[in-house]
A and B are shown apart, each in its own frame.
Chain A
Amino acid sequence: MDQGARLVFLGRLEDLAGMAEMAVSAGPLEDILAGLKRELAVALLDERVRLALNGRLVPQMGAIVLGAGDELAFLPPVSGG
């Protein structure tokens, strides 16, 4: 049984991260971000980047704690259809 969580990077964040998804340990988001390379963490914390936990938008990243199997997506501003 996989006890980890997953980060998903959309748009230009995928290029910056060098990958579309990243397996991470479950736990508080701030701990997870602290373990990323600084340039990526700064981009993820940009105020224009929206977050979705398991496919649902979350209002703000302050108190997010990822549990086993959770998927947290980072959504930069969209370009339009």
Chain B
Amino acid sequence: MVAELVCDVRLLTAPFDPAAELGAFTAQVPAAGGVVSFLGKVRGDSGVEALEIRHYEPMTLPGFVALARTAAQRWRLDGVLLLHRVGEMGPDAPIVLVAAASRHRRDAFAATDFVMDHLKGESWLWKRERTAQGWRWIEPRAEDHSDRERWR
């Protein structure tokens, strides 16, 4: 009997507490032997005063859910956590928290890495940042594509 997959995927419009979220997720996957997590945050020393992320309701969250499910089909997981902020946030603020829980650690490491590589550049999110020079839209980076190619 395989326990049902925990799939917690949310878009958040307000600040969140990564430690509390990770604790709550871990509590839901008692059979797991390990939980790997990645926390992405706004850099605190880059001159960025604010980061704004915009999304498109009908597509952004469904895309995240599909990505989490793809990871769960590819590796043996007990659970996937994918939390992503939208809206405006300041330096040091958490942006994204991804975690995977599995029986054995390698599945969790790989799934977390896979989800992050596909979030970058394949999610329906638009970012701009404010520095002393004003607001600037962030363009896709070539590395985002090569990072995803690793999984083909």
Contact = CB atoms under 8 A, between A and B. Distances in A.
Contacts of A14: 54
Interface string A28-65: 00000000000000000000000010110000000000
Interface in A62-78: 71, 73, 75-78
A46 to B, nearest CB: 13
A77 B140 CA distance: 7
A79 B141 CA distance: 8
B119 A75 contact: no
Say what secondary structure dominates the interface of chain B: mixed
Say what secondary structure dominates the interface of chain A: loop
A52 B58 contact: yes
Contacts of A27: none
Q: How large is the interface on B (under 10, 10 to 19, 20 to 34, 35 or more residues)?
A: 20 to 34
Contacts of B93: none
Interface string B108-152: 000000001001111111111000000001111100100000000
Contact of A10 (B56, B116, B121, B138): B56
A22 B134 CA distance: 26
B126 A81 contact: no
A80 B127 contact: yes
Interface in A1-28: 8, 10-12, 14
A80 B56 contact: no
30 contacts: A10-B124, A11-B54, A14-B54, A52-B59, A54-B58, A55-B58, A55-B59, A55-B62, A71-B58, A73-B56, A75-B56, A75-B59, A77-B139, A78-B124, A78-B126, A79-B125, A79-B126, A79-B128, A79-B138, A80-B120, A80-B123, A80-B125, A80-B127, A80-B138, A80-B140, A80-B141, A80-B144, A81-B40, A81-B96, A81-B119
Interface of B: 40, 54, 56, 58-59, 62, 84, 96, 116, 119-128, 137-141, 144
Interface of A: 8, 10-12, 14, 52, 54-55, 71, 73, 75-81
